[in-house]
Amino acid sequence: MISIKTEAEIAAMRRTCRLAAETLQMVEHHVVAGVTTQELNDICHRFILEHGATPSPLNYRGFPRSICTSVNQQVCHGIPGKRILKSGDIINIDITTYLDGFHGDTSKTFHVGKPTPKGDKICQVAKACLDAGIRVVRPGARLGDIGWAVEQMALSHHCTVVREYCGHGIGREFHEEPAVLHYGKPNTGTMLQQGMIFTIEPMVNLGKPEIRHMPDKWTVVTRDHSLSSQFEHTILVTATGCDVLTSLDGEYLCSLPLENY
């Protein structure tokens, strides 16, 4: 069952999603050579608590930290620790906040210091893949349309989409129905309805799509050691399009109904 959010639930989702986005914006300033992923975790943890929320990942299915930090060939679910970032690294920081009973989920991949050509390419393509998915979202579109748009964007740049992980419905639970695959066939799958809220969060590899799990049981890496990048937003289906609940800067205003201008 895919929940259709009420107006009150949507208002609460706007608040938690805004806090998740603000946490990501705040931590970006700390992504510099020499910082450890544990320090980034602690900065986010404190910020989230100071704003009356808790970090959803902490103790989620035994996850031991408050955010996920995935560096270079790490695809997702990296555990913050002693690793020291260096110039030329890319790092995805994935923030999920739990505020007043609702989860908000967003991530971006950042460059540490000066971007490398490969780092620059994979981050630009991964962002373009998320945006291609977002552009599809409106009532009557189907989940297969999103997956198809995302994967076509990756393939058109000779990159690949990880198949083992997907976007998800979100609300009172961190991960709800539906599963939002980042590949698919146009005109297939569940039809989108106004009031649905879900994430789109493609993991895009510079090389082959296959992944492997590290011995810590959480960190996912590319099997061929190629770079991987991910961007994630939490998205509300509106009457005529969508509202990107985790964007702060009007970046996606073009996809909103006219009355929002």
Residue 201 found at the interface with ligand MF3 (CB under 6 A) = yes
Q: Tally the C-alpha atoms within 13 A of residue 53's C-alpha that lie toward its C-beta.
A: 31
Selection from ligand MF3, Co ion, none that 57 binds (CB < 5 to 8 A by kind) is: ligand MF3
Report if residue 77 touches ligand MF3, rule: CB under 6 A. yes
Strand pairing partners for 243? 236
User: To the nearest whole angstrom, how small is the minimum distance from the Cβ of residue 164 to ligand MF3?
Assistant: 13
Do residues 213 and 169 touch, judged by C-beta distance below 8 A? no
| Between 118 and 236, CB nearer to ligand MF3 | 236
Residue 44 or 256: the one with the smaller Cβ distance to ligand MF3 is 44
Site track 141-160 with Co ion (rule: CB under 5 A), x = hit: --------------------
Q: How far is CA 140 from CA 3, 45, 134, 194, 240, in A?
A: 16, 39, 14, 9, 10
What is the residue whose two structure tokens read 């909103």? 256
Binding track over 35-74 against Co ion, x by CB under 5 A: ----------------------------------------
Instruction: Return the residues of window 92-111 that contact ligand MF3 according to CB under 6 A.
Output: 94, 96, 105
Stretch that binds ligand MF3, among 1-9, 26-34, 57-65, 219-227 (CB under 6 A): 57-65
One of 30, 63, 135, 194 touching ligand MF3 (CB under 6 A): 63
Q: H helices within the chain, ranges in order?
A: 7-28, 37-50, 117-136, 143-156
- Give the pair of three-digit tokens for residue 106: 């967003």
Residue 9 binding target from ligand MF3, Co ion, none, CB below 5 to 8 Å by type: none
> CB-wise, 104 or 195, nearer to Co ion?
104
If DSSP states are collapsed to H, E and C, what string results for 133-150? HHHHCCCCCEHHHHHHHH
3-state helix, strand, coil in the chain (%, to 5): 30, 25, 45
Per-residue x/- marks for Co ion, 106-145, CB under 5 A?
-x--------------------------------------
Q: Are 190 and 181 spatial neighbours (Cβ–Cβ below 8 Å)?
A: no
Residues near 39 by Cβ (< 8 Å), separated by ≥ 6? 30
Spatial separation of the C-alpha atoms in residues 32 and 86, rounded to whole Å: 8
Please give the residue ranges that form the binding site for Co ion (CB under 5 A).
94, 105, 107, 199, 232
Please give the residue ranges that form the binding site for ligand MF3 (CB under 6 A).
57, 60-61, 63, 68, 77, 94, 96, 105, 201, 232
